[in-house]
Amino acid sequence: MKRVKIYSGKRSKELEQISQISGQRIQDCIQCGKCSASCPASEGMDILPHQVIRLLQTGELEKVIESKTIWSCASCFTCSERCPRDIDIANVLEAVRLIVIRRSGENRIKAEDVIKKIDDKMPQQAIVSVFRKYNK
């Protein structure tokens, strides 16, 4: 098995912010896949939850930010409940969404920005969740 350096120099400041905002140690993920297997919104995701964590572990934040996955998460916390390492993956995805919003220089998300990210496969609960959290 090839060893991969966690938090390689790419975007390490933002990756540290994700860990700080979420309060999670993403480097503890063992890639068991239980989060992805139990996710009710995975059908609308282009990157599964365990893959998101792996991309973050290897410093590939841009791939995560450009994905539909962070906006497809329904924040149901099923992934977090099933994680054998007690990583709250829903909070990690929320932290990534916050990083995206902060990059735009805002503290809120605009309706037109969400509409660009959604498609027919996105669960309605995810849309409501995004507006509830970021449109106050």
Give every CB contact of residue 121 below 8 A, 6+ residues apart in sequence.
43, 44, 72
pLDDT tens string, the chain, 136 residues long: the values are 555 555 555 557 888 889 999 999 999 999 999 999 999 989 889 999 999 999 999 999 999 999 989 988 888 899 999 999 999 999 999 999 888 888 877 666 666 666 666 666 666 666 676 666 655 5
pLDDT reported for residue 81 = 94
Q: Is 35 in a helix, a strand, or coil?
A: helix
Q: Which amino acid is at 136?
A: K
pLDDT reported for residue 44 = 85
Structural domains in the chain? 12-134 (1.10.1060)
Question: Tokens at residue 27, please?
Answer: 């480097």
pLDDT reported for residue 71 = 87
